[in-house]
Structure 1
């Protein structure tokens, strides 16, 4: 008898499992691995931060959240501003020290004017221009040298009514703007350890809502109650979890202004030793490192990686935060991510734990309340560096020893998180397991997996993550134990839909040999335009389509997507190692070119006008 077209016949419940054991027909059914990438950052300051406020930032947390979720607002400088695309999540990390003092200095409140130094800062702010700038840097200098008058410290420290009320307000605002599934707010603060201008900041991120956050107050650095010792920060994090039954972590600040103190080898700046206790606590509480931000890129340095042709990217290596001490070459190895990852292997062999086993993240460290890492929409480090015809020539820092010029700052960066849903819990958990990566601004999608039996066949699917989780481990993980064969890595990258094509994918390997020496090597594993590796082992440049007169480029070179399965050709099963992927875009114009086109700004001689933006995945580690 003929059957109706709607008649599916008698179902055979065993048919699928007989053909594909353990599989459902729909590849999306019962899928448990993280399947979405969510974009945000965990390093943004509002006008509540003492330096941001004195530089003229009058925007608060509500403004920052509204902007990040895609609304148009007015900047502190009076400009209309909106993101090209909304972010999925945001952690505002105002400096925990003296939150609110800048707002009162702006207002000239009686308690500020009653203090001679406070009155001086308030008068400087009211004058504006260079006077306001001098007042701001004077406050920052007094803060770094711990010379802020005690009565002001007491009025704006945890325990005071001003401070505690402000912290409560911050947490309530975060809860109000948190919309699970649409926009996530993570509660946090920046612990601003900056002894003698050595930038040793950490951003503290909580997994929890305001109900738990309000049970504590942030840790500060100013005496008598504050501390610049990281061991005290780790104790605060432990105390928070013990008291609230919540969860917290810390993100190490970009280290290129730390003058060699962010990744210590033998002892810490606070006078402690890099011993068993230190490495265990740091590994527990600092799972992530901010590899790129406005104050330069922190992956590696040309002197540390002389064979890496892409090492000199947004390099900022002049000195400490306030340029009171210039950089020495021997400091570099304790400031950059790749060298720290190598150092961690050596410390693990000596002390049993790798303290620098971190994942990679990016953040802006913007002090404008505006999370802008887009080259054509860059609103600078501070309100004084918002778009204007003069900002290219406006120095970020200037001292008797030199200057960090405004045009040297980078429009960077963002953090991508692989998670199953856009919630506080899912975003935090992805950070903790290091399934997260950094970009210098573009929203490049990157998957990176390690295992022992990936093949080219695994890339034939449009969804390589299925094979990645099935046969291996994702970024941020340890490779499982092996019999000694070379590991295989599967990497896939898709260009930013609104950005530039991709030049290449590289895998960076670092390892510790039997003699205790560390090494590194950069491998090109996928590239565009059919280029061939030359006799020297180098891949020729992809080309350059940048139009400096129009601040434009064309995607007539490069590729929209790149993928590879790569086998380590130099693997030694006895050596500890790490691997991470670096994805490089084709050349595009830097933000100063857009300023030139829009304002007619003069670009200083020698300033970089073209760049190749990039993404850095969290590593995968191999342990013999």
Structure 2
């Protein structure tokens, strides 16, 4: 009898414990699925399957080589050197041009079908000639794209190349360890103005292979590209998105307030664009695209690695009137204005960086920069090579290779390193851009973060529980209460200390004007702001001649909880974090040191690398 009673008591106790365990687990993360890890990658890389990459020296590094390099393997570059990443990437998307996709490798292989075409035979002859002949072929192909005219029509070329690209991605995709994303670049450039997008599939070859890439020869209008994306999802049940390039060589077209037909934007346009383009590229080899000093004159850090002379083909000079429609910060402000008019924000994008390298090598750290094209791989005088543009005919300005930027990478807060999880994170804009360093940044917005909340070890869980992460939305402002933001940044473990953390605010004021302001919210070295609120410079330890620096200044970590002191609940606004490193040597300084040479360059010997998070938006409710 006693034995039976004990048995019943033990069973009851166990059942009670199980019931309680179902309500509250001892494990802090039980029942939570928010991202705990940031993954690093490149969504914009070209291989020898891109016609311009092949014509500019990339003679044989195919998509498989790009994936091998990204996951940490050694690759022999075209200059004969062995190239290897300082640290492997977590993901890579090869994004070769849809236009003449895979053509040049097939020409080089002596493809009889191509050589039997008069145009193909001509390009083969030029390709087998010297640099001048190769440049002539490259120029002809670029003119085709700029004029939306396809000189050589051969669908089997694109089909064969796309099958090889998707097959390589599936082969190198290793869920949980390395993600190989399937994608390509839609390379429209009407009149030389860069409106390029990279197209990213969440799927494997069994779905992505059911279509072939939509190219600029099909249409130069982004709305037609979006229709293609819609048709793909309907046909395959898969998922796809597009990422606009850096807008700085679009001559005012990337974030224009008219469509390609010249008509003002509509609500339908805004809804469609915001659906298919959740993030935008804001930094890459062709310059930094966060903002411009003439757009942000009060921002002392606005003048960073500028490319602002003209459009992509160097055939039209830049004017100040174009700038607001090219840079991310200005576009985000314009989005608020359009939302007030249309009810939908067409430019509600998160931020990422990527390389746009055409070398098959995603290497953009300052001391490991392999350039834009294979012709510009490391050499004693590569920083003095003139004529970055595709040709001299009609050129109205020039760029030298030393103006190339060792940038950038995409950082993605995802639940795991898989195609599905990374795609989900990019769709929800839980992403940020860096100019190369692997700076870790967390950013949350809410209404009641305590001033010390970021100091708690579980501040990330608190951020998700009480607010929204980067890419999120704040609404329903409590009466008399301003939003508060938690920001925490850690230096690249193998990189430089941090100078400061800033919050950049943009808003659409009561009078219908667009405003912006930069707030320093955390900084190193016990500096004190002056009477105007300006923080003293962090200083510099850079020895440009020796290409060295030290972490004797700056901080390894910086964090803060900040509340907007100028918040108006009736005004639409966005907030994003910018993190600045202490100064470090620029890639040109590393070139001079490695090759024991002196470049004839006006570029600075030191720069302040940085990270830009996706914004958090505030939208007034009807009663505000």
> Normalised by the size of structure 2, how large is the TM-score?
0.93
CA positional deviation for 1:264: 1.0
Matched residue, 1:92 = 94
CA positional deviation for 1:11: 9.2
The CA distance in 2 between the partners of 1:606 and 1:207, in whole Å, is 43
Candidates 231, 235, 249, aligned match of 2:227: 235
Q: Secondary structure at the match of 1:242?
A: helix
Matched residue, 1:423 = 418
CA positional deviation for 1:563: 0.1
CA displacement 1:273-332 (0-9 Å, x = unmatched): 411221111011111110000000000000000000000011100000011001011000
CA displacement 1:220-276 (0-9 Å, x = unmatched): 111xxx1011110110011011111111111011000000000011x2234454112
Q: Secondary structure at the match of 1:404?
A: coil
CA positional deviation for 1:120: 4.5
The CA distance in 2 between the partners of 1:403 and 1:16, in whole Å, is 72
Q: Secondary structure at the match of 1:456?
A: coil
Q: Secondary structure at the match of 1:579?
A: strand
Matched, 1:593 2:584: no
Candidates 80, 97, 100, aligned match of 1:78: 80
CA positional deviation for 1:410: 0.3
Q: Is the 1:376–1:594 contact (alpha carbons within 8 Å) kept by the matching residues of 2?
A: yes
Instruction: Name the CA shift for 1:14/1:526 in 2 (closer, same or farther; >3 Å).
Output: farther
CA positional deviation for 1:136: 2.3
Matched residue, 1:550 = 546
The number of residue pairs the alignment matches comes to: 603
Q: Is the 1:38–1:89 contact (alpha carbons within 8 Å) kept by the matching residues of 2?
A: yes
Task: Please give the root-mean-square deviation of Cα atoms over the aligned residues, in Å.
Answer: 2.2
Write the mapping of 1:41-440 to structure 2, written as runs, cut at 5 A: 41-57=42-58, 58-107=60-109, 109-110=111-112, 112-113=114-115, 117-149=119-151, 152=152, 154-155=153-154, 160-222=155-217, 226-265=218-257, 267-395=258-386, 396-397=388-389, 399=392, 400-440=395-435
CA displacement 1:565-610 (0-9 Å, x = unmatched): 0000000000000000000000001111111011134323421221
Matched, 1:498 2:494: yes
CA positional deviation for 1:482: 1.9
> Normalised by the size of structure 1, how large is the TM-score?
0.93
Q: Which range moved further: 309-318 or 398-407?
A: 398-407
Matched residue, 2:606 = 610
Q: Secondary structure at the match of 2:559?
A: strand
Instruction: Name the CA shift for 1:480/1:23 in 2 (closer, same or farther; >3 Å).
Output: farther
Q: Secondary structure at the match of 2:301?
A: coil
The CA distance in 2 between the partners of 1:101 and 1:270, in whole Å, is 31
Matched residue, 1:467 = 462
Instruction: Name the CA shift for 1:216/1:112 in 2 (closer, same or farther; >3 Å).
Output: closer
| Structure 1 unaligned blocks of 5 or more | 1-9
The CA distance in 2 between the partners of 1:315 and 1:169, in whole Å, is 37
Instruction: Name the CA shift for 1:29/1:393 in 2 (closer, same or farther; >3 Å).
Output: same
The CA distance in 2 between the partners of 1:111 and 1:40, in whole Å, is 37
Q: Which range moved further: 449-458 or 287-296?
A: 449-458
Q: Is the 1:41–1:89 contact (alpha carbons within 8 Å) kept by the matching residues of 2?
A: yes
| Structure 2 unaligned blocks of 5 or more | 1-11
Q: Is the 1:228–1:270 contact (alpha carbons within 8 Å) kept by the matching residues of 2?
A: no
Q: Is the 1:203–1:253 contact (alpha carbons within 8 Å) kept by the matching residues of 2?
A: yes
Q: Secondary structure at the match of 1:339?
A: helix
CA positional deviation for 1:526: 0.2
